[in-house]
Structure 1
Amino acid sequence: MPIPARAKTSGLKLAAAAAVGGTAMMLAGCDSQSGPTLQPSADTRQVTVVGAGQVQGTPDTLTVNASMEFIAPDATTAMNQTNERQQAVIDGLAAMGIDRKDIATTRADLQPQYGSDNTSIAAYRATNSINVKIRDLNKASNAIGLVVGTGGNATRINSISYSIEDDSQLVKDARARAFEDARDRASQYAQLSGLNLGKVISISESGGETPPVPMPAAGPRAMEAAVPLQPGQQTVSFSVTVIWQLD
């Protein structure tokens, strides 16, 4: 059927209106791995960017998790031997200047050990574990040597990790770098789109944690000599999402 001239004109007007409406866009969803995403917005133009910031600091604390473990024919002997050896370790650490509040028991258990038939109990294994937080890194090597020397073959060094006791300033610095990174990105997108960067609409953040740096544990034989320790550097990372208005 032929289309009346009036209807053709209306269709052209609707298409033109849609083209004009398509020029009001919102620039959003940009990060370091993907480009900006355009979304229609009837009221305002805006750009959303994710900024990242990192700073490094030197660890000042070492945490050691060490266990004493004995196997004996009866439960009482196994537990008593383990507890006595661990108590000697705790007393020795305190004597060298480590505060007792920085020594915490993390595990104390007793497990039966079955014989070859897997039905009868042949012995008992007792384990007592502690976390030792060493704030003076100059004492770290001697402290680990004391643990091994006192515990002997009953010693198990489960983990060693460095951390930063107070990383609040590092977090502030990383946050500032993340925001500046977001501002630089937003300014570039504003320039590319022929607009000016306006006021901040919203800010959301994530990060700021400093995970401890683990070190591989070693057995007692490897720790008979002085333990070489190197704290290295830790990285504090921060991420911030900022939305700016585009004028």
Structure 2
Amino acid sequence: MPIPAHAKTVRNSFIAAAVAALTVAGSTACDARSTAPAPGTDSRQVTVVGAGEVQGTPDTLTVNASMEFLGPDATAAMNQTDERQQAVIDGLVGLGIDRADIATTAADLQPQYGSNGTAIAAYRATNTVNVTIRDLAQASDAISLVVNTGGDAARINSIAYSIEDDSELVRDARARAFEDAKDRAGQYAELSGLSLGKVISIAESGGAPPPVPMQAPRAMEAAVPMEPGQQMVGFSVTVVWELT
């Protein structure tokens, strides 16, 4: 049946209105998406790195010492090495060092080949201990005892000073690092005409450095002069502040 002309006009008007409504809605949605700020874009921040250092006097000395013998066979080499090392250990205990502070760290036996490179000519045996000296007044005597008792078999591999409890030094260094970071951040805020807000993140690095080994001579007759000096504990910290 033919559709009246006025009905076509009403239907066309309705479709046009719907299309217009959809166009406006789509445009509004696009505008809303384009004008919404991305997360964090309104946040103004400053990131700085602060450093802090403090010094302390070492109160502990660790000595790494070996006894080394060359023998015609494995048993002879090991026996001589073990006997001489035991004499050293007994002497250190007699000096007043706690036996618990003497620890064997290596016991090694290696064949030594002759000039032809195939036949075993001898055996080299090594016994190594770490000695922790907590009374630094004993340090010189302890090292002399190791060398004099061990004789030509003695090897002083290294000595290293350390601070047994550096917790307070660590706290002081950490506090100095943070204050240094805060001072730097405050200066940047002032230069930019802003103020420091809340701390957003903190990341630290560093700490007490490992003891630095020092080489000692292999043979000595007189007392060894020993000076602990100073050790540094340092921290660096990266802090992010909000700027307001």
Moved more, 230-239 or 198-207: 198-207
- 1:241 and 2:227 are equivalent in the alignment: no
> TM-score normalized by structure 2?
0.83
User: Is the strand fraction higher in 1 or 2?
Assistant: 1
Other structure's SS at 2:213 match:
strand
2-structure distance, mates of 1:149, 1:161: 20
* Contact 1:163–1:210 (8 Å) recurs in 2: no
Between the two proteins, what is the percent identity of the paired residues?
76
User: Which residue of structure 1 lines up, in the alignment, with residue 6 of structure 2?
Assistant: none
* Contact 1:60–1:137 (8 Å) recurs in 2: yes
Q: CA RMSD in A?
A: 1.5
1-structure distance, mates of 2:192, 2:232: 35
* Contact 2:65–2:130 (8 Å) recurs in 1: yes
* Contact 1:149–1:224 (8 Å) recurs in 2: yes
1-structure distance, mates of 2:102, 2:149: 16
User: Which residue of structure 2 lines up, in the alignment, with residue 161 of structure 1?
Assistant: 160
User: Which residue of structure 1 lines up, in the alignment, with residue 99 of structure 2?
Assistant: 100
Note the 1:162-241 alignment, pairs <5 A.
162-220=161-219, 223-241=220-238
Unaligned runs of 5+ in 2: 1-34
Task: Please report how far the alpha carbon of residue 213 of structure 1 lies from its aligned counterpart in structure 2 after TM superposition.
Answer: 2.6
Partner AA of 2:83 in structure 1 = E
User: Which residue of structure 1 lines up, in the alignment, with residue 66 of structure 2?
Assistant: 67
Note the 1:142-153 alignment, pairs <5 A.
142-153=141-152
Task: Please report how far the alpha carbon of residue 41 of structure 1 lies from its aligned counterpart in structure 2 after TM superposition.
Answer: 5.1
Count of equivalent residues: 208
Note the 1:120-135 alignment, pairs <5 A.
120-135=119-134
> TM-score normalized by structure 1?
0.82
* Contact 2:73–2:122 (8 Å) recurs in 1: yes
Partner AA of 1:181 in structure 2 = D
2-structure distance, mates of 1:242, 1:218: 46
* Contact 2:156–2:215 (8 Å) recurs in 1: no
User: Which residue of structure 1 lines up, in the alignment, with residue 85 of structure 2?
Assistant: 86
User: Which residue of structure 1 lines up, in the alignment, with residue 117 of structure 2?
Assistant: 118
2-structure distance, mates of 1:214, 1:114: 32
* Contact 1:203–1:241 (8 Å) recurs in 2: yes
Q: Which has the larger radius of gyration?
A: 2
Unaligned runs of 5+ in 1: 1-20, 25-39
Task: Please report how far the alpha carbon of residue 217 of structure 1 lies from its aligned counterpart in structure 2 after TM superposition.
Answer: 2.3
* Contact 1:164–1:210 (8 Å) recurs in 2: no
User: Which residue of structure 2 lines up, in the alignment, with residue 32 of structure 1?
Assistant: none
